[in-house]
Amino acid sequence: MTDPLILIDTRGDGERRTRLITLNRPKQLNALNDALMDQLGAALQAADDDAGIGCIVITGSEKAFAAGADISAMQSHTYMHVYKTNFITRNWETIRRVRKPVIAAVAGFALGGGCELAMMCDMLIAAENAKFGQPEIKIGIIPGAGGTQRLPRAVGKAKAMDLVLTGRMMDAQEAERAGLVSRLVPLEKLMDEALAAADLICALSGPSVMMAKECVNRAFEGSLADGVDYERRVFHSLFATADQKEGMAAFLEKRPPKFSQS
């Protein structure tokens, strides 16, 4: 039997729990091939559909989150093959449809498609040994899973150009200074930190968490004026939820809220 390409676990002990997905091609530094991305897409969709799940964490090994798309699988691809099979869009983009928060817990290499996968997540928690980069330029291609768009939005044009045009890696400290990483922690604390953040999110009101994610994504994807209008509509709609009534009542009554997820 071959090893599964991803490992799926459920963590936490609250009413809603965390789905932990571990990329599992350690010998290939978690190089991302189509079979793995199909499985990751299915696992993400299943977690999103499961009412008992409040947050998703994606991680790799201590040596590599993922060292990129699988170069050995891509090397012989032709233009017609990638166009007709809708390469990348077909399975990598599933993550864009996930409505629950996704946290990337990154140790070691996050390169090429690995860096792009981490950037598709909503929060990026990195271990001190993490290394980020878009080295595609060194093998005759460019980032093709959103890297040329998400990296400049995350770190600004100057540093994005530097990374994309030279293919150099940046260490975790530089990535945190640049704003790519939300938290930087010692390697041995990485999973505790990511799962604790996920636990916190699981205990919140799911609908407001999903709407908050949608609004922040608008900031990333559209204009400021459209984003603010969109945020206001969603903000108004939250006053139709039971959890808004309960959350505010609990605050005023100085007690913990009991969210009904509705």
Q: How far is the CB of 49 from ligand HXC (least distance, A)?
A: 25
Could you give the CA distance from residue 118 to residue 102 in angstroms, rounded to a whole number? 10
Could you give the CA distance from residue 116 to residue 150 in angstroms, rounded to a whole number? 8
Binding site for ligand HXC (CB under 6 A): 28-29, 31, 67-72, 88, 109, 111-113, 135-136, 139, 143-145
Nearest CB to ligand HXC, comparing residues 144 and 206: 144
Nearest CB to ligand HXC, comparing residues 110 and 201: 110
Contact 148, 110 (CB under 8 A): no
Query: Where in the sequence numbering do the catalytic residues fall?
Result: 69, 113, 116, 136
Q: How far is the CB of 7 from ligand HXC (least distance, A)?
A: 19
Q: How far is the CB of 247 from ligand HXC (least distance, A)?
A: 40
Nearest CB to ligand HXC, comparing residues 31 and 209: 31
Would you list the DSSP string of 8-35?
EEEE--SSSEEEEEEE--GGGTT-B-HH
Could you give the CA distance from residue 151 to residue 153 in angstroms, rounded to a whole number? 5
- Residue 253, both tokens: 């009554």
The continuous run of DSSP H or E covering 169 comes out as strand 169-171
In sequence order, what are the beta bridge partners of 57?
Answer: 20, 103
Crossing angle of helices 242-252 and 206-221, rounded to 10°: 110
Q: How far is the CB of 165 from ligand HXC (least distance, A)?
A: 15
Nearest CB to ligand HXC, comparing residues 113 and 247: 113
